[in-house]
Amino acid sequence: MNNGQPHDPHDQLSPSRLGLGLFAVYVLLYGGFMGLVLVRPDLLASRPFGGVNLAILSGLGLILAAVVLSAIYMVARSNR
Amino acid sequence: MLHETSPLAIGIFAAFVFGVLWLSFWLGRKGQSAQGYYAAHGQVHWFVNGVAFAGDYLSAASFLGICGMIAFSGYDGFLYSIGFLAGWVVALFVIAEPIKALGRFTFADALDARFNSRGIKLAVAISTLVVSIFYLIPQMVGAGSLVTPLLGLPHAVGVMLVGAAVTVIVVTAGMVSTTWVQFIKGSLLVFFCGILTVLILNRGLTVNAGRSGPVDLTPQVRTVRPDGTVLVDGRPQSADHDLRPIGTITRLPERFAGKTTTGPLGPLAYLAALEDSTIVTWSQETTVDQDGTHVTFTPRERPAAELLRPGGYFKGLAGGTLAGRLDFASLMLALFCGTASLPHILIRYYTVKDAAAARRSTVVGIAAIGFFYLLTLYLGLGAMTSGALDPTDTNMAAPLLAKSFNQTLFAVISAIAFTTVLGTVSGLIMAGSGAVAHDLVENVCGVQMTDHEKVRVGKLAAVALGIVAMALGILFKGFNVGFLVGWAFNIAASANLPALVMLLFWPRTTKQGITAAVTVGMVSSLGWILLSADTFEKVYGLSRDLSPMPFSQPGLVTIPLGFLVLVVVSLLTPAPTRR
C-alpha cells in the first residue's frame, strides 16, 4: 500500500550486478545438473569419489554451492 | 497400520503445542496495530527473520513429504530437496532487496507500487489466496497423518486440531507471534533432525533392522470392506494382527561379510555402504470388487544402488517417455521459480527494517534450509532401512524412523513435525488474511477502515481460511505431501514470477501487462493441474488416459506463457509514465 503515493522502483531498487552474476553461476550449475538427469541419467550412476555415486555427490554439491554463493554475496555486499 | 499411543508421547506433544499457543498469547499483546499485525512493525532482527524463513519454508512437504519420498522411492525425493533450495537463490539474488524496497504489507503492494492499479491488486490478491490454499492442503494432510499414530486420533481430528491451533495463533497476534513460532520451529526442526542424523550414522546399516531370522518376503494384503472394517491378509486388523512394518536390508556389502551390522559409519561411508547393499522395496497394487478395496503390497529384493539414482519416483527418467521427462523438467522449473513467488515467503521481507536486513536474513535462511536439506537425504535413507515404515503412509517415514530409536524421540519428532505444520500454516493464513483485508477489502473495494478495523477484518479472514484449510485437509487424505506442494509451486511461479521479474528488469512493463500475466499464469496453471493425468487418477479416481494434458506439471508451459502475455500486453498498451 502506498497511501496514494506510488513510487518509481527504478529510483531505489535493482538487483545488484554481483547478485545477477552469482545467480547466473548457479543457473548454470542447476541447469547442467538437471540436463544430466534428463539426458544422461546413466552417468549419474558412476562412483567418482568415496564410493558415492555422482547423483548424490552432485546433489549435495548443488546444495552446498547455494550456501557458499549466498555467503559470498553477503560478505561482498557488507564490505561496500 | 495401527499404532499404539503412549502417555509420554501425548505429554510431550501437548507440551509443545500448548507452549506454542502460550507464546502466541503472550506475544499477542504486541501486535494490535495494522503495522504490527501484518508486518510485526518491521522490527524483526534479521537473524531471527532468517531462521523464521526456515521455519516458514520447511513445511510438512519438506520434512514429512521428502523423507517419505526418499524412504519409499529413493533418490528422486532428494531431487525435491535440491529444487526447493535452488529457489532460494532466485529469492536472494534477484528478489529480496527490491521486494523489501517496494512493498509494505503484502505481495500486491510490491507489484502495484509503481501503478496504483485496482486490477493488479485484485489479480494478485486472488493469486495469493489460490497459492496459499494449494499450499495449505499438504500441510493439513501432514497434520492428519501425524496425530493418528501419535495420539490415536482419526486423520480428520488431526486436521481440525491444526486448523484450530493455527487460527488461534494468527488471530491473537498476527505476524509477531507467527514469526516467533516459525523461529522456534525452524530452530527445533534443524537441531533435532541433526541429532536424528547422528543417530542414523551411529547405528549404521543392519540386516533386517536388527530382527532375528530372515526377512519375511511374503506379500501383504489390506482390505477395506464396504462396511468400513479392515482386514489384513483376510483376517480382521488388530494390534496382534496387522501389516508388518517394512524397510529392510537383506544383505550388506562384501566388506562386511559375515556381519549383520556395519556399526557406526561416516556420512560418505554410510552412502557408499548402502550403495553396495541389497534392500527390499514394496510395490502396491489396488483392486476393487464386491468384497471391498484390496491393496496388495508385494516385496522385491534389489540392489540399493538402483534407488540411489534418478528414476525411482519420476518414472520418465529411467528410460521413460518424453512426456515423463517433460513432466520432471516442468516440476524442477517450478520449484526453482516458485520459492521467490510464494506470498507467505515474500511477506516475511516486510518484517525487517531495510533491504540490507532482508538480504542478510535470506542468507541465514539459505544456510539453515540448505543444512536441513542435506539432512533429508540421511533421514530418508535411514527410514528406508529402519524396518519401521508403515506401508500405507509415506508421510510417516520420519516420525517412524525416530520411533525405531525410542518412543521419546518419536514423540519429540512428531511434536516438532506438528509445530512445523503450525508454523507454515500460520504463515500461509497470514498471507491469505492480508490479501483479503488489505488488498481486496481496503484497496480493491475501497472500504475505508480504521487501524483497528483492518486488524479485525484480517482476523475474520484468518478464521475463514482456517475453516477452508481444514475441509481440504480432510478431503486430500492419503496424498504424499511433497507431491501436493509441487502444485502450489507451479501456480505461484506461473502467476507471480513473470510479473515480479519483468517489473524489476523491463521499464516498459505496464499495469495491464502485469494484471494479464498474473491472471493468465494463475488460470492456465490451475486449469492445467485440474485437467492433468495425476489429478484424474488421484483426485477424480478416473483413468489417466482421459486427461487431455500431455504431462501433469504445468510450469514448463505456463511460466513462459506468463512472460509472453506480459510482454505482448505491455507492448499493446500505453507505456507507463515515470513519476
The yes-or-no verdict on residue A12 having pLDDT over 50 is no
User: Which residue in A6, A50, A70 is closest to B363 by CB distance?
Assistant: A70
What gap in Å lies between CA B92 and CA B99, rounded to an integer? 10
Listed range (A14-28, A40-54, B11-25, B489-503) with the worst mean pLDDT: B11-25
Which residue of chain A comes nearest to B275, CA vs CA? A52
Which residue of chain A comes nearest to B79, CA vs CA? A59
The yes-or-no verdict on residue A9 having pLDDT over 60 is no
Q: Does residue A59 lie in a domain region? A: yes
Q: Does residue A46 lie in a domain region? A: yes
What gap in Å lies between CA A72 and CA B10, rounded to an integer? 45
Q: Does residue A9 lie in a domain region? A: no
CB contact residues (below 8 A), chain A span 14-73, against chain B: 14-16, 19-20, 22-23, 26, 30, 33-34, 37-38, 41, 44-45, 47, 50-53, 55-56, 59-60, 62-64, 66-67, 69-71, 73
Q: Does residue A6 lie in a domain region? A: no
Mutate to test the interface with A, among B82, B268, B313 (most CBs of A within 10 A): B82
Question: What's the one-letter identity of residue B245?
Answer: P
**Interval A42-46 mean pLDDT:** 91
Phi, psi (rounded to 5 degrees) for B262: -85, -20
- Of residues A52 and B319, the one with the higher pLDDT is A52
Look at residue A5 in the predicted model and tell me its pLDDT.
Answer: 38
B89 and A14: CB-CB below 8 Å?
A: no
User: Which residue in A1, A13, A50 is closest to B101 by CB distance?
Assistant: A13
B89 and A70: CB-CB below 8 Å?
A: yes
A19 and B101: CB-CB below 8 Å?
A: no
Look at residue B176 in the predicted model and tell me its pLDDT.
Answer: 77
CB B428 within 8 A of CB B485: no
B89 and A41: CB-CB below 8 Å?
A: no
Domain count, chain A: 1
Closest approach of A26 to chain B, Cα-based (Å)? 8
- Does any CB of chain B come closer than 8 Å to the CB of residue A8? yes
B311 and A77: CB-CB below 8 Å?
A: no
Categorize the per-residue pLDDT at A30 as very low, low, confident or very high, splitting at 50, 70 and 90: very high
Tens of pLDDT along B381-405?
999 999 989 998 888 899 899 999 9
Mutate to test the interface with A, among B38, B106, B309 (most CBs of A within 10 A): B309
Look at residue B177 in the predicted model and tell me its pLDDT.
Answer: 76
Phi, psi (rounded to 5 degrees) for A6: -60, 145
Q: Does residue A26 lie in a domain region? A: yes
B115 and A6: CB-CB below 8 Å?
A: yes
Query: Which regions of chain B are under pLDDT 50?
Result: none
Listed range (A24-28, A74-78, B281-285) with the worst mean pLDDT: A74-78
B438 and A1: CB-CB below 8 Å?
A: yes
3-state secondary structure of B280: strand
Q: Does residue A20 lie in a domain region? A: yes
Look at residue A2 in the predicted model and tell me its pLDDT.
Answer: 38
CA neighbours closer than 13 Å in the CB half-sphere of residue B202: 7
B113 and A9: CB-CB below 8 Å?
A: yes
Look at residue A29 in the predicted model and tell me its pLDDT.
Answer: 96
Look at residue B32 in the predicted model and tell me its pLDDT.
Answer: 61
**A67 to chain B: which residues are within 8 Å by CB?**
366-367, 370-371
What gap in Å lies between CA B150 and CA B311, rounded to an integer? 33
Q: Does residue A56 lie in a domain region? A: yes
Tens of pLDDT along B208-232?
888 888 888 899 999 999 988 999 9
Which residue of chain B comes nearest to A74, CA vs CA? B360
Look at residue A10 in the predicted model and tell me its pLDDT.
Answer: 42
Q: Does residue A8 lie in a domain region? A: no
What gap in Å lies between CA B177 and CA B190, rounded to an integer? 20
B97 and A13: CB-CB below 8 Å?
A: yes
A41 and B310: CB-CB below 8 Å?
A: yes
Q: Which domain holds residue A41?
A: 15-78
CA neighbours closer than 13 Å in the CB half-sphere of residue B363: 20
Q: Is B271 left (phi over 0), alpha (psi -120 to 50) or beta?
A: alpha
Look at residue A3 in the predicted model and tell me its pLDDT.
Answer: 37
Question: What's the one-letter identity of residue B415?
Answer: A
A15 and B82: CB-CB below 8 Å?
A: no
* Other beta carbons within 10 Å of B319: 10
The cell numbers describing B484, all together, are 501436493
Contacts for B384 with CB less than 8 Å, ≥ 6 apart = B70, B71, B72, B74, B247, B279, B307, B397
What gap in Å lies between CA B169 and CA B342, rounded to an integer? 21
CB B432 within 8 A of CB B342: no
Phi, psi (rounded to 5 degrees) for B55: -65, -35
**B82 to chain A: which residues are within 8 Å by CB?**
30, 33, 59, 62-63
